Structure 1
Amino acid sequence: MAVTIREVASAAGVSVSTVSRAFTAPDQVQPTTRQRILDAAAKLGYSPNPAARSLRGGGTGTLGLIVPDIANPFFPPIIKAMQARARHLGYTVLVADSDEREADELAAIAAVSKRVDGLILWASTLTEDRLHELAGRMPLVVVNRHVPGIPEVRISLSAGIAQAAEQLKAYGHRRCVFINASRAELSRGKSIQESFEALDLSLSELGPYEPRFETGVHAATLVAAHDATAVIAHNDLVALGVLHQMANLGMSVPRDVSVIGIDDTLLASVSTPSLTTIRIDPEEIATRAGDLLIETIASTTGRTGQGLEVTSPFVEIGSRLIPRASTGPAPAH
């Protein structure tokens, strides 16, 4: 027999209306009370009924998430964690893939926007004007993209990059290459350049390319021309392409060249050699992005031409280096 909202209220020692607000308008409930309600609901196995909520309040009980490339192994753990977090708060998640193209992203938004209460856009390709127009029509959160006035989850690579530079410096590396596979407005090159220059490490840049395995295969053949002893790649997929091509060229990693990725996907730990990488916690991203969107939805008092009546929250996710076998001492010349 399904657990009722009254049973949750009784277990948490609050009213039924407070339980309802904890799930539908969490900002209106004290954090300690809300957590007590969530704990009671989890213990009893209670799950809000999105369909009933939709009939009462016009909502769908669904959150939208559009990612650049669902085939990238970085995203499935985030999607899974976001589904778990949303389910805990009484929502489901609808996922779409933009394939990092503006036309596809616009098509995905058009397809899902009427079926969700709010939308999370990851590294959106849209202009700021388009994003502001969209935010005026529905609750919106952007991830890894800064747009003034729109709630944002930003991934900071500063700590992880600094640790990577420190490791390479300690191993005796002096000449490094960054394989850039990000769009101009999302470029990681500047922060990486600054971190490496601070430690007197030379850093050449290749690209920009697309953030795919094939990019690493292509770029690996160019690394030797720069006389580099270390490579930092845009993400793990690119770094794995480098590892693959280095082996084809008869080069040894890390004896001849050290390689560092970014993301810490499952493939990083099982590659040969295992990949040193900068970790971004998928569960933290999923939790913070999902919570921020739900708070934005709850804070919405109307969908007028003036846009959402919310401030612009900002959440930052950190990073750290995960040392593995793909980095080692610089070769002696």
Structure 2
Amino acid sequence: MGVTVRELAAAAGVSPSTVSRVFTAPEQVKERTRARVLEVADQLGYTPDPAARPPRGDRTETLGLILPDITNPFFPPIFKAMQTRARRQGYTLLVADCDEREADELETIEALSAKVDGLILWASTLPEPRLLELAGELPVVLVNRRVPGISELDISLTAGITQAAEHLRALGHTNCVFVNCSRPEHSRGKAIRETFDAHDLSVLELGPYEPRFETGVHAATLVMSHQATAVVAHNDLVALGVLHQLHNLGVDVPGQVSVIGIDDTLLATTCTPPLTTIRISPEQVATHATDLLVEAITSQAGTAPAGPRVVEVGTRLIPRASTGPAPTA
């Protein structure tokens, strides 16, 4: 049996996707890296499989999108809007799910990288050196992950969190809980603590947990044990779990506890009571992320000015029936 791509990659000290590009799109790999891979390939007697080559020229006219969890109702509208934006610019969009695991994300990147002209990675779990290596192989845009030298779409919760704090303070709340499902490198919990503190709101942080419905179910019982009158959940999915379990416990929302989510998914308007939430616009996210990646692709091709950019998308609070005045003593 011949030498495999993974074996060659390990021997050359690069990723399998780099090996693939050396033989399918060599112009997208740095000269020194390309020379090292070819030298090791010659030493090992590696022969690329012609059938593995994509049937194309230099471009696939395809963009790749790797999401943490496609089952989260936040992502389908973004994927839909991004697909529309890509089509308008002459691209097809491929989407994959890595289930928020680094190993799965790396495997997915390796599977897609030879099939696309560039990748959008959502809240990537990969270490910074690996992301920089990847960005040296093909155009990359990061969403909610700051790595100097790589274009990023930053979804800023600042305005939405500030409005949420003002909303709760005006309703008389003082004792709040934040159900945190962020990874350590993300600053969502820190932003909420600092903002709520500035508005004289105490915040107890629970977690970090996984951003799932079941997390909200678990957190709801803890909320009641701490006698909080308001809950801010990591996202709408977690907030729905909180609402579900509070109902099971016989807790009135918003009479006894107010609940706020983040995302403004379709489910936020259809649950009972309708969920107050911090809105992130799928259309804005899709437009800016797609445009950043197309810009990076054309920059690499030399048809547009080079250089990574950071674009920020803002947020705002959408008040609904899940928040109300704090209960009196």
Tell me the TM-score normalised to structure 2 length: 0.82
Name the structure 2 match of 1:251: 251
Name the structure 1 match of 2:194: 194
Name the structure 2 match of 1:11: none
How many aligned residue pairs are there? Answer: 275
Q: Deviations over 1:20-71 (max 9, x none)?
A: xxxxxxxxxxxxxxxxxxxxxxxxxxxxxxxxxx999510010000000000
Shift of 1:311: 1.5
Name the structure 2 match of 1:323: 319
Name the structure 2 match of 1:16: none
In 2, the alpha carbon distance for the partners of 1:242 and 1:325 equals 15
Contact 2:140 2:293 in 1 (8 A): yes
Name the structure 2 match of 1:15: none
Shift of 1:188: 0.6
SS in 2 for 1:315: strand
In 2, the alpha carbon distance for the partners of 1:187 and 1:170 equals 25
Are 1:222 and 2:218 an aligned pair? no
One-letter identity of the residue aligned with 1:300 = Q
Q: Alpha carbons of 1:55 and 1:158: their partners in 2 closer, same or farther (altered >3 Å)?
A: same
Residues 222-301 of structure 1 mapped to structure 2, 5 A cutoff = 222-301=222-301
Shift of 1:310: 3.1
Contact 1:180 1:187 in 2 (8 A): no
One-letter identity of the residue aligned with 2:169 = K
Residues 12-23 of structure 1 mapped to structure 2, 5 A cutoff = none
Contact 1:179 1:234 in 2 (8 A): yes
In 1, the alpha carbon distance for the partners of 2:146 and 2:213 equals 27
Shift of 1:150: 0.4
SS in 2 for 1:136: helix
Are 1:157 and 2:153 an aligned pair? no
Residues 27-176 of structure 1 mapped to structure 2, 5 A cutoff = 58-176=58-176
Q: Deviations over 1:218-257 (max 9, x none)?
A: 0000001221100000000000000000000000100010
**What runs of 5+ residues in structure 1 fail to find an aligned partner?**
1-53, 303-308
Name the structure 2 match of 1:38: none
Contact 2:220 2:242 in 1 (8 A): yes
SS in 2 for 1:86: helix
The one of 326, 329, 332 equivalent to 2:328 is 332
One-letter identity of the residue aligned with 1:320 = R
Are 1:313 and 2:317 an aligned pair? no
In 2, the alpha carbon distance for the partners of 1:117 and 1:241 equals 39
RMSD of the TM alignment (CA)?
A: 1.5
Contact 2:296 2:308 in 1 (8 A): no
SS in 2 for 1:332: coil
One-letter identity of the residue aligned with 2:310 = F
In 1, the alpha carbon distance for the partners of 2:295 and 2:322 equals 41
Name the structure 1 match of 2:42: none
In 1, the alpha carbon distance for the partners of 2:297 and 2:248 equals 51
Contact 1:259 1:276 in 2 (8 A): yes
One-letter identity of the residue aligned with 2:185 = E
SS in 2 for 1:298: helix
Shift of 1:186: 1.4
Which 4+ stretches in 1 moved above 4 angstroms? 54-57
Shift of 1:208: 0.2
Tell me the TM-score normalised to structure 1 length: 0.81
One-letter identity of the residue aligned with 1:59 = R
Shift of 1:187: 3.5
In 2, the alpha carbon distance for the partners of 1:186 and 1:138 equals 25
Name the structure 2 match of 1:212: 212
